[in-house]
Chain A
Amino acid sequence: MTQSNRLNGGLINRDASLSFTFDGKSYQGYEGDTLASALLANGVRLMGRSFKYHRPRGPLTAGSEEPNALVELRSGGRQEPNTRATVAELYDGLSANSQNRWPSLERDFMAINDRFSNFLTAGFYYKTFMWPKAFWEKLYEPIIRKAAGLGSLTGEDDPDHYDKGFLHCDLLIIGAGPTGLAAALTAGRAGAQVILADEDFRMGGRLIAETGALADISGADWVDQALAELASMNNVRVMPRTTVFGAYDHGIYGAVERNADHLIAPEADKPRQTLWRIYSKRALIATGAIERPIAFENNDRPGILLAGAVRSYANRWAATPAQSVVVFANNDDAHQTARDLMAQGIKVPAIVDTRPDAADVEGIEVLKGAEIINTSGRLGLTSVQVRTEKGYTTDLYCEALAMSGGWNPNLGLTCHQRGRPVWSADIHAFVPGEGLPVGQIVAGAAKGEMSTEAALQGGAAAAVAALGDLGITASPVDLPAAADAPVSISPFWHVKGAKRAWLDYQNDVTVKDVKLAHQENFTSVEHLKRYTTLGMATDQGKTSNVGALAVMAELTGKSIRDTGTTIFRPPYTPVAMGAFGGRAVGKDFHPTRLTPSHKWAEEQGAVFVEVGNWLRAQWFPRKGETHWRQSVDREVLQTRNSVGVCDVTTLGKIDVQGADAAAFLNMVYSNAFAKLPVGKVRYGLMLREDGIAYDDGTTARFAEDHFVVTTTTANAVLVYRNMEFVRQCLCPDMDVQLISTTEAWAQYAVAGPNSRKLLQKIVDPDFDISNEAFPFMGCGEITVCGGLRARLFRISFSGELAYEIAVPTRYGDGLMRALMEAGEEFDVVPYGTEALGVMRIEKGHATGNELNGTTTALNLGMARMVSAKKDCIGNVLSRREGLNTPDALALVGLKPVDTNETVTAGGHLMNATGPVDAAHDQGYVTSAAYSPILESSIGLGFVKGGSDRMGEKLRLVNPLESQEVMVEIVSAHFLDPEGEKLRA
């Protein structure tokens, strides 16, 4: 197909022809085109369907404010819905499809909605689907869901990478039009750290879209010179294709850089997009202005564009929407569109200007005081109906209309911290008001200074002022002479009598809808927005908000100033979820922590489980084992019968040193540590200040002024944080120093009756670890394997004779191998977290299931561990009456009366007879396992007054699975209650 609407000139590279498809049809464009400009050049005006009425639509704008021309780009995992054709940079092989239509863009079944527009007015959903209530879930919601939305996703994984990054600067300049470029040159030459970001792939803003912006040089040439100079400065970072989408606290801005959206696919390992967090000391909003439409009957046909956009297409992209274009405006600026088109040989039948005193334009008829009252053309404009000042109507044949209701400062980013725009009667638009984000300044058209001259001078002056605040001296650079015409506009919002006159194109909000909202008393701007969905689409109403509230102002008889405006929220334009995810997807969602024996465990074929960020061996399947229980039972039995080894490095280890180390531990633990002898270990319980137990572990004393505290794996970070709180905030005068040593030491539990014999083969002979020399709860610094420093603790979680041995982490792999080799004669077994869990339940040791954030020391059977003789965190409030009732929950063991039955964790306990309900609840099961030693399912749980109810039978109920099992209350210490094994 020929590019029948391609003009001369423009900033496209005619040497680089690009092929692309739209709805399966092939076209040619040029490097520098957008999808929209290339389609217009090819004579395609129809690009989409509207959201509600499925009206045929073409592009309204030439920028990111586009409400109409939304397409699906690419296919497969890369398919991206609701992409604006007006900013989609053309590349060879681009494939785009229209959306929200079936079976085709030209013949859309759902266009029938347009016929029912009398019903589908504002508030339709609220009014219609209220009754009958039962219809909602089964009928209404599914239908609405099917009809709602525009583009679609394929559901395939996105194959691309997204990066995240952080940038710092003195001055962030958002927008690289005349304002931004003048500011960047000024700040760059002053030596400041500058970031210049623009959402467009070609910088220059209106300078590259207008023909006569500068007096003595073309806008594009001056932009090229400015960019070349900026590129040569090390202190300036020029970022095209970068949308600053949000202004956050204290000068932080969010930006997304589209690294590879203009390529058919990113290069291998290269990001598709990068999400930047920009730390700025000052930020200059130089985002220009956005033109607004005029509301008149059927003002949404393909071929009806904003006048500035038509100029952009003609001047920058050498494309025209049609060969015959009428202009409709209330201001002088739009007249330039007519002049530019004429210069390119395009027919301009007339300028329809609402102002009776509009200026003349050479060579074109200006219909002064006239209005367009209707349009024709089902899939594209064919004519407009004009009502002249004297009231005659006449048809003008044209295939495009360039309209302009004036320009609104593009001030979205000034509102992100609740800045409220204020009405300017000078330019008839909202301009940034008070309460801008910290460090933010606005200049140029974004501030309401609409001429090119004002933009250039304002940008330079803003940079000087911003840097002055930072103590950097800058002076404005020499800037080219530029057009400086004052804004000449007479407010005109909508043609009287028009009903289906679009205000918000994307959400299909018309003048009639605003009238309805007014009639039903939704007159505040916030109510208007929610009732009509005005401005709530992906374009956030950039082209529509002001027009709609002007109509509302008219209806209420208030001024626009008094009517006020809604404000904008981040993001300025839609940001892909992938960019927010960055590289933190799939298994990279969070860092993984590997234990020192990980490599060895992998070699053994271990099954791993995620515990927080840690990967721990859960069990070690052996040949022939087909069910995890077989592996776990074997690991338990072999440990209890001989010896097993488990990696327990993940437990937190905190080094506590200092003259007041013991006093400090007395404060953080409920029980006393001051008198713990050197070379001994003690179990400790930590409470929250409200008296609830939250962590436990063992603490070893290596010297008078040196302890090593162990925490649970899950709470390592929290305990450390709380200990620093006590140290710095509550006991600031104590001489105590803390540091985490969790990762520095590889620590293994060696458990079972043969554990000592095994360790004696590893521990160097200088160290006597016999029962007499190294009794239960002993600890010491030793050497192993011929001189390697190590720490040995005689502690037991399994209830067996057991030790924990630690060596520097780099030797952890070697030590595991050495233990396995030395243990061969004892048939040593590695065991994982499942066997660890089974053995601790058999022994009745509490873990996070029991220290679950609701239980006290009393509940845990450790009331005596809260020393009354000293202060500690949680001491006072643990004595609250409510926590110390005679029937308080007590930790007990539970056994099914019939050993074939299973104890289920989470189940609740009820008396043997009586009702099963919350009022009669006797407690609950916290942990359960199959004990291969007892050959029965067992559990731990809390029972009201449980310590005095040994032998009592209760019903364990699990109503979710209609389960009811009779269990007996027994001691939580199923195994070796006297602890003889530990001391053997």
Chain B
Amino acid sequence: MHKLKPITPLGGDTPRVDTVGSITITEVVDQALASVAARNDQAGAVQKALADKIGLSLPEVGQSSQAAPYAALWMGPEQWMVMAPHDSHELLAAELKQIVADTASVSEQTDGWCRFDVQGAGLCDLFERLSNAPVRTMGSGTAIRTTAEHLGVFLWRLAEDHMAVLGPRSSAASLHHGLLAAAKSIA
């Protein structure tokens, strides 16, 4: 095992957790990410390969799918973001490339993103102050790529009271600040 110590997107040794009123904001770091983009006319083959090998069916437009420990978000036309726990799948991109071979282009995205999980009853009130996504009508499993705090983000509704926000890692502090400020606004 190598000897370099990781830091979190917020620059800490351990993930940060903040509770404001009914809202809990958790920095999530145990997550490996890789983008999978189908090669020309290979979308079917990619979907089949992932379904066969790891049971993951790639989601439709604006949706997500899960097949523990994997999950996937729709990212763009014939392009998906696949995720798995970092501790067990740090080399996710290589793992997926093995599976999809020449049917898809795979790029490591793990540290391109930071993720904050926002949980609590006032979730919609909070996100209404950050994003133009129609959060009140976003069903569980919906994943919308949009802006929050002037940043390009994924909003991934995991449950009625649970939203994951994936944003650019370099702006983690700004995104976190926005989430905290909105949480305080509605607390």
Judge A-B direct contact (beta carbons within 8 Å).
yes
Cβ contact within 8 Å between B129 and A164: yes
Quick check: is A808 within 8 A (CB to CB) of the other chain? yes
How far, in angstroms, from A741 to B107 measured CA to CA in the complex? 8
Distance to closest chain A CB from B103 (angstroms) = 11
Of residues 704 through 754 on chain A, the ones whose CB sits less than 8 Å from some CB of chain B are 705-706, 733-735, 737, 739-746
Cβ contact within 8 Å between A583 and B109: no
Q: Can you show 20 pairs from A to B with CB atoms below 8 A apart?
A: A165-B128, A168-B137, A270-B185, A274-B129, A591-B171, A613-B171, A614-B170, A659-B40, A733-B40, A737-B104, A739-B105, A743-B112, A744-B112, A784-B4, A786-B1, A787-B2, A788-B4, A808-B111, A809-B112, A810-B8
Known A657-B105, A705-B105; further 12 A-B contacts with Cβ < 8 A: A163-B129, A279-B132, A591-B171, A592-B174, A658-B39, A706-B105, A737-B37, A737-B39, A741-B109, A743-B111, A787-B2, A818-B4
B137 to A, closest residue via Cβ? A168
* Total number of B residues with any Cβ neighbor in A under 8 Å: 56
Distance to closest chain A CB from B3 (angstroms) = 5
Cβ contact within 8 Å between B111 and A809: yes
Cβ contact within 8 Å between B170 and A743: yes
How far, in angstroms, from A741 to B111 measured CA to CA in the complex? 9
Cβ contact within 8 Å between B39 and A659: yes
Q: CB within 8 A of A270: which of B6, B79, B133, B184?
A: B184
How far, in angstroms, from A614 to B168 measured CA to CA in the complex? 12
Of residues 493 through 551 on chain A, the ones whose CB sits less than 8 Å from some CB of chain B are none
Quick check: is B35 within 8 A (CB to CB) of the other chain? yes
How far, in angstroms, from A161 to B177 measured CA to CA in the complex? 14
Q: CB within 8 A of B3: which of A269, A706, A743, A785?
A: A785
Cβ contact within 8 Å between B129 and A788: no
How far, in angstroms, from A194 to B117 measured CA to CA in the complex? 29
Binding site for A on B (CB under 8 A): 1-9, 11, 29, 35, 37-40, 79, 91, 102, 104-113, 128-134, 136-137, 149-151, 168-175, 177-178, 181-182, 184-185, 187
Distance to closest chain A CB from B133 (angstroms) = 8
How far, in angstroms, from A583 to B185 measured CA to CA in the complex? 11
B132 to A, closest residue via Cβ? A166
Most chain A beta-carbon contacts within 10 A, residue among B8, B151, B169: B169
Distance to closest chain B CB from A592 (angstroms) = 5
How far, in angstroms, from A786 to B170 measured CA to CA in the complex? 26
Cβ contact within 8 Å between B185 and A161: yes
Q: CB within 8 A of A165: which of B129, B170, B181?
A: B129
Taking CB atoms, residues of chain A closer than 8 Å to B169 are 743-744, 809
Q: CB within 8 A of B91: which of A594, A658, A789, A809?
A: A789
Cβ contact within 8 Å between A657 and B107: yes
Given known A-B contacts A163-B129, A166-B132, A593-B168, A811 and B109 have beta carbons under 8 A apart: no
Taking CB atoms, residues of chain A closer than 8 Å to B182 are 163
Taking CB atoms, residues of chain B closer than 8 Å to A788 are 2, 4
Taking CB atoms, residues of chain A closer than 8 Å to B174 are 588, 591-592
Distance to closest chain A CB from B154 (angstroms) = 14
Distance to closest chain B CB from A958 (angstroms) = 38
Taking CB atoms, residues of chain A closer than 8 Å to B6 are 810-811, 813-814
Of residues 580 through 596 on chain A, the ones whose CB sits less than 8 Å from some CB of chain B are 583-584, 588, 590-595
How far, in angstroms, from A871 to B79 measured CA to CA in the complex? 28
Most chain A beta-carbon contacts within 10 A, residue among B38, B112, B131, B187: B112
Quick check: is A863 within 8 A (CB to CB) of the other chain? no
Distance to closest chain B CB from A576 (angstroms) = 17
Cβ contact within 8 Å between B35 and A593: no
Given known A-B contacts A164-B129, A591-B175, A809-B169, A658 and B7 have beta carbons under 8 A apart: no
How far, in angstroms, from A118 to B187 measured CA to CA in the complex? 59
Cβ contact within 8 Å between B168 and A743: yes
Cβ contact within 8 Å between B184 and A269: yes
Q: Is the interface of A mostly helix, strand, loop or mixed?
A: mixed
How far, in angstroms, from A270 to B129 measured CA to CA in the complex? 12
Cβ contact within 8 Å between A271 and B185: yes
Cβ contact within 8 Å between B170 and A735: no
Taking CB atoms, residues of chain B closer than 8 Å to A655 are 105, 107
How far, in angstroms, from A579 to B85 measured CA to CA in the complex? 41
Cβ contact within 8 Å between A744 and B2: no
Distance to closest chain B CB from A401 (angstroms) = 46
How far, in angstroms, from A588 to B174 measured CA to CA in the complex? 8
Cβ contact within 8 Å between A583 and B91: no
Distance to closest chain A CB from B84 (angstroms) = 15
Q: CB within 8 A of A807: which of B4, B151, B177?
A: B4
How far, in angstroms, from A167 to B11 measured CA to CA in the complex? 34
Given known A-B contacts A163-B129, A739-B107, A784 and B2 have beta carbons under 8 A apart: yes
Cβ contact within 8 Å between A745 and B7: no
A583-622 toward B: CB 8 Å interface, digit per residue (1/0)? 1100010111111001100000000000001100000000
Top 9 A-B pairs, shortest CB-CB distance: A657-B105, A814-B4, A809-B111, A744-B112, A269-B184, A591-B174, A737-B37, A788-B2, A593-B170
Taking CB atoms, residues of chain A closer than 8 Å to B178 are 583
Taking CB atoms, residues of chain A closer than 8 Å to B187 are 269
Most chain A beta-carbon contacts within 10 A, residue among B102, B150, B185: B185
Given known A-B contacts A161-B185, A810-B7, A783 and B2 have beta carbons under 8 A apart: yes
Taking CB atoms, residues of chain A closer than 8 Å to B137 are 168, 193
A234 to B, closest residue via Cβ? B136
Distance to closest chain A CB from B46 (angstroms) = 11
Quick check: is A569 within 8 A (CB to CB) of the other chain? no
Most chain B beta-carbon contacts within 10 A, residue among A279, A614, A746, A813: A813
Cβ contact within 8 Å between B173 and A594: yes
Taking CB atoms, residues of chain A closer than 8 Å to B1 are 786-787
How far, in angstroms, from A787 to B4 measured CA to CA in the complex? 10
Most chain A beta-carbon contacts within 10 A, residue among B105, B130, B133, B187: B105
Cβ contact within 8 Å between A591 and B149: yes
Cβ contact within 8 Å between A168 and B134: yes
Most chain B beta-carbon contacts within 10 A, residue among A168, A743, A814: A743
Cβ contact within 8 Å between A813 and B7: yes
Given known A-B contacts A163-B185, A598-B11, A584 and B171 have beta carbons under 8 A apart: no
Cβ contact within 8 Å between B128 and A166: yes
Quick check: is A815 within 8 A (CB to CB) of the other chain? yes
Cβ contact within 8 Å between A744 and B108: yes
Cβ contact within 8 Å between B168 and A269: no
Distance to closest chain A CB from B93 (angstroms) = 10
Q: CB within 8 A of A741: which of B9, B108, B129?
A: B108
Cβ contact within 8 Å between B170 and A167: no
Distance to closest chain B CB from A609 (angstroms) = 16
Quick check: is A262 within 8 A (CB to CB) of the other chain? no
Quick check: is A983 within 8 A (CB to CB) of the other chain? no
How far, in angstroms, from A649 to B172 measured CA to CA in the complex? 16
How far, in angstroms, from A783 to B113 measured CA to CA in the complex? 22
B174 to A, closest residue via Cβ? A591
How far, in angstroms, from A743 to B151 measured CA to CA in the complex? 13
Taking CB atoms, residues of chain B closer than 8 Å to A814 are 4-7
Quick check: is A387 within 8 A (CB to CB) of the other chain? no
Taking CB atoms, residues of chain B closer than 8 Å to A598 are 11
Taking CB atoms, residues of chain A closer than 8 Å to B134 are 168, 279
B41 to A, closest residue via Cβ? A735
Cβ contact within 8 Å between B170 and A595: yes
Of residues 766 through 799 on chain A, the ones whose CB sits less than 8 Å from some CB of chain B are 783-789
Distance to closest chain A CB from B1 (angstroms) = 6
Most chain B beta-carbon contacts within 10 A, residue among A279, A584, A746, A811: A811
How far, in angstroms, from A808 to B7 measured CA to CA in the complex? 11
Given known A-B contacts A592-B171, A658-B39, A783-B2, A810 and B185 have beta carbons under 8 A apart: no
Cβ contact within 8 Å between B170 and A744: no
How far, in angstroms, from A618 to B111 measured CA to CA in the complex? 25
Taking CB atoms, residues of chain B closer than 8 Å to A733 are 40
Taking CB atoms, residues of chain A closer than 8 Å to B102 are 659, 705
How far, in angstroms, from A815 to B100 measured CA to CA in the complex? 32
Q: CB within 8 A of B112: which of A277, A740, A815?
A: A740
How far, in angstroms, from A811 to B3 measured CA to CA in the complex? 10
Taking CB atoms, residues of chain A closer than 8 Å to B40 are 658-659, 733-735
How far, in angstroms, from A463 to B74 measured CA to CA in the complex? 37
B114 to A, closest residue via Cβ? A743
